[in-house]
Amino acid sequence: MLAEPPRVGSRSAVGRLPMLAGAAAALLTGLYGGLALLIPGIPAPETFPREHGPLMALGFLGTLICLERAVALRSRWGYAAPALSALGAVCLAAGAEKPGQVALTAGAGWLVGIYLALLGRRLSRETLLQLGGALAWYVSGLLWLGGRPVSELVAWFAAFQVLTIAGERLELAHVTMLRPGVARGLLAAAALLGVGAVYSVWDPVTGARITGVGLLAVAAWLAWYDVARRTVRAHGLPRYTAVCLLAGYGWLALSGVLWTATGLASGSYLYDAALHAVFLGFVMSMVFGHAPVILPAVLRIRLPYRPILYAPLALLHAAVALRVAGDLAGAGAVRTAGGVLAEAALLMFAGCAVTLALRPPTERRQR
């Protein structure tokens, strides 16, 4: 999600809008499906709540990651990945489950190809980590097509998103002049994630526990070595991004503890807490922090920093805390309130981003 702004014309940026529209459709339908899961009786197509997880993790976030990597590749063939992913998201939302699974899995396979091409240009550990994340998505798609339920694929989904983010943060961590060998710690943590995901194919509970140890190890490495530890003392956008990252690492660590302790097999409430700590608290905080870089890279549209961006960020983390607390206490009303507020935070952030991006240039100047 950290590609440089592409040196292409506005026509190229406009051509990416349908892919972003597919990601937006996945986000909206996924959010509505999540609301239907929280509040029984809300009228919703059956597919929305059933596909809530894949729509958010693969349809929305997967498409964004594919699109950003295609921009970084600077080659037209790379855009097949986000196009396939967006198509899969739309198919899922429309109730065409099998075509959606096929398209999402094909998009993951194309993303693997993008990373191989990038590795051909420059061999690096950070790209290898992201390649591991893409492979995790691809394998989860194959297992899904083979009949595995989504509940048995969450370790693969987590590996996809955590390894992708970890690879990007490793790239920036080099700015701090890491000592030789330090990166091996992150690679070892990533290997634990991979082992846990693979083991979950035969033993989901033990696989989830191993994955949890990996999540905790990744969180510890990022919290200690990420450049955010320094930039949080800066001002403006660098500080805002650092706050997003460091708060997200806290949720990643908590999710590691929950996955390790429960093996995702200690009841629906603890399962919900373990999943949303990583997919909502960690991943969405990363999205909030990187959005001012993603939009310029993908659409050549500035997203200037303004302090108002802290409002949806604060609401997001308060909502996740409320939801996890409700899960741990077995308080359904508290859990539901946290879930609803989290959805409001995502929509609020989207509204802030659109408003800031569309403001006249004379009003965009950073203070």
DSSP string, 240-302: HHHHHHHHHHHHHHHHHHHHHHHTT-S-HHHHHHHHHIIIIIIHHHHHHHHHHHHHHHHH---
When mean pLDDT is compared across 57-71, 109-123, 160-174, the lowest value belongs to 160-174
pLDDT of 333 over the 70 cut: yes
Look up the domain containing 75 and give its range.
13-123
Residue 341 within any structural domain of the chain: no
Answer yes or no: is 101 within a domain. Answer: yes
pLDDT tens digits along 225-280: 888 888 899 999 999 999 999 999 999 999 999 999 999 998 899 999 999 999 99
Residue-level pLDDT at 304 = 85
On whether residue 225 sits in a domain, the answer given is no
Residue 62 lies in a domain: yes
Return the pLDDT at 139.
Answer: 98
Confidence of residue 365 (pLDDT cuts 50, 70, 90): very low
pLDDT band at 364 (very low <50, low <70, confident <90, very high): very low
Distance from C-alpha of 325 to C-alpha of 308, rounded to nearest angstrom: 27
Q: Give the angle 109-115-116 at the CA atoms, nearest 5°.
A: 90
Residues 6+ apart with CB under 8 A from 159: 132, 133, 136, 193, 194, 196, 197, 211
**CA-CA distance, 32 to 294, in Å (whole number)?**
25
Residue 180 lies in a domain: no
pLDDT of residue 165: 95
Q: What is the mean pLDDT of the chain?
A: 90
How do residues 169-223 score in pLDDT, each as one tens digit? 887 766 555 676 788 899 999 999 999 999 999 999 999 999 999 999 999 999 9
Task: Tell me if 71 is assigned to some domain.
Answer: yes
**Close Cβ partners of 329 (under 8 Å, ≥ 6 residues apart):** none
Rounded to an integer, the average pLDDT of 95-114 is 97
- Spatial contact of 69 and 114, defined as CB atoms under 8 Å apart: yes
Summarize pLDDT for 251-264 with one digit per residue, the tens.
999 999 999 999 99
| Beta carbons of 32 and 48 less than 8 angstroms apart | yes
Give the pLDDT score at 362.
53
What is the structure's pLDDT at 59? 95
Stretch 330-359: mean pLDDT? 92
List, for residues 31-40, the tens digit of each pLDDT value. 999 999 999 8
Domain total in the chain: 1
* Per-residue pLDDT, 5: 40
What's the pLDDT at 2?
45
Q: How much is the pLDDT for 167?
A: 93
Q: 304, 291, 310, 313: which is closest to 359 by C-alpha? A: 304
Residue 326 lies in a domain: no
Instruction: Quick: pLDDT tens for 47-62.
Output: 999 999 999 999 999 9
* Per-residue tokens: 191: 């290997």
Q: How many helices (H) and strands (E) does the chain have?
A: 17, 0
Per-position b or e across 340-353, b if 16+ CB within 10 A of its CB: bbbbebbebbeebb
21 in any annotated domain? yes
